[in-house]
Amino acid sequence: MAHVISLLNHKGGVGKTTSAINIGAGLVELGKKVLLLDLDPQANLTVSLGIQRQPVTIYESLRGESELVPFQYKPNFDVVTSSLDLSGAEMELVNEPGREFLLRSLFEPIQEEYDYIIIDCPPSLGLLTLNALTSSNFVYIPLQTEFLALQGVAKIKQVIDKVRFRLNKKLSVGGVIATMFDSRKVLNRDVVATIQKYFGERVFETMIRNNVALAEAPAQRMDIFSYQPKSNGALDYLKLCKEIEQRCDAAAAAEQEKPQAQKLSTIATRQPMGSMPQGTPDLVAPKQAARPQTQPRQTVDLHG
């Protein structure tokens, strides 16, 4: 079953699309099968990879005219493309029954085929983004390490909390990605410190440095690993992907442990007091024990 990750920040130009493309490509480098979904009417992801207008884009699929038709960009690397038509979708779909779950039902038949599905969200918190959130396990928030990086983050948190409460219990903030980082700039370093203070261990250790090759790659219609595999951009995204893999594996393992842990705690509570032989391992709080350190916490306190 694929890990579904949405890259979300309603602030524009923070590195959502760059991260979606290069996290996708990095995971493929690590031997994973990846589907990228361009859910932005600007279609920046589609254009940046040089994919021509497809007969079926996410727009037609959301309208119920077709199932998803992924385009094979490279071996193990598929893309569901977008088009400008999608800009009308929010209005068109507003009266559709189950409008928040259109994407989730489109994913169902293909979710087993991929290790990761990465969704590039538009810079808004409308119906398209809502569909991304109901379909995802994790939200990753890219934050540009500049002044006002955290502006609007409280709003993102509010939306995620509401979606988790009402529509998708599996959803959590799986990571925060510091982008366009320049270690020579005091401001950048200060902003990273602030981000780390707010988000704690959810901030990925790997920071994506400001790197000209990352900005050039879309003009060459390539991901960074095809364009300049030795650039800092490629190194950073590959390192980030290793962290992502670890976090997702840990989350999946914790999920698998859950029924077992619950069973153990039931047995533990059924045992009459004093009936356990000496030296029996402590069966109390198995959930905690089963939870690897890298497992992200369930909620984020944005206020320290």
Ligand X SMILES: Nc1ncnc2c1ncn2[C@@H]1O[C@H](COP(=O)(O)OP(=O)(O)OP(=O)(O)O)[C@@H](O)[C@H]1O
Decide: is 23 part of the binding site for ligand X (CB under 6 A): no
- E-strand spans in the chain? 3-7, 34-38, 71-74, 77-80, 116-120, 138-144, 172-179
CB of 216 to Mg ion, least distance (A): 17
CB of 121 to Mg ion, least distance (A): 8
140, 208 Cβ separation under 8 angstroms: no
Tally of CB atoms within 10 A around 219? 9
In 3-state terms, what secondary structure has residue 58? helix
Q: What is the DSSP letter of 180?
A: S
CA distance 65 to 63: 6
Tally of CB atoms within 10 A around 190? 12
- Which C-beta is closer to ligand X: that of 39 or that of 251? 39
Residues 200-229 that bind ligand X (CB under 6 A): 208, 210-211, 214-215, 218
- Which C-beta is closer to Mg ion: that of 122 or that of 174? 122
- Which C-beta is closer to Mg ion: that of 103 or that of 251? 103
215 binds, among ligand X, Mg ion, none (CB under 5 to 8 A by kind): ligand X
210 binds, among Mg ion, ligand X, none (CB under 5 to 8 A by kind): ligand X
Decide: is 180 part of the binding site for ligand X (CB under 6 A): yes
In 3-state terms, what secondary structure has residue 173? strand
Decide: is 231 part of the binding site for ligand X (CB under 6 A): no
Contacts 24+ apart (CB under 8 A), 95-99: 99/127, 99/131
The phi, psi pair for 202, rounded to 5°, reads -70, -20
Residues 80-119 that bind ligand X (CB under 6 A): none
Which is it for strands 77-80 and 71-74: parallel, antiparallel or unpaired?
antiparallel
Tally of CB atoms within 10 A around 70? 19
Stretch that binds ligand X, among 16-24, 220-228, 260-268, 284-292 (CB under 6 A): 16-24
Decide: is 157 part of the binding site for Mg ion (CB under 5 A): no
Q: Is residue 92 within a helix (H) or strand (E), and if so which, with residue range? A: helix 89-92
**Given 4, 6, 17, 131, the residue binding ligand X (CB under 6 A):** 17
CA distance 230 to 191: 27
144, 37 Cβ separation under 8 angstroms: no
- Which C-beta is closer to ligand X: that of 57 or that of 179? 179
**Given 44, 134, 137, 188, the residue binding ligand X (CB under 6 A):** 44
CB of 2 to Mg ion, least distance (A): 21
Ranked by CB distance to Mg ion, the top (closest) residue is: 17
- Which C-beta is closer to ligand X: that of 27 or that of 261? 27
Decide: is 6 part of the binding site for ligand X (CB under 6 A): no
Query: How many whole angstroms from its chain centre is CA 249?
Result: 14
CA distance 95 to 90: 10
**Given 6, 17, 61, 144, the residue binding Mg ion (CB under 5 A):** 17
CA torsion 60-70-166-90 (nearest 10°) is -30
CB of 233 to Mg ion, least distance (A): 16
**Given 6, 9, 19, 44, the residue binding Mg ion (CB under 5 A):** 44
Residues in contact with ligand X by CB under 6 A are 12-18, 40, 42, 44, 123, 179-180, 208, 210-211, 214-215, 218
Residues in contact with Mg ion by CB under 5 A are 16-17, 44
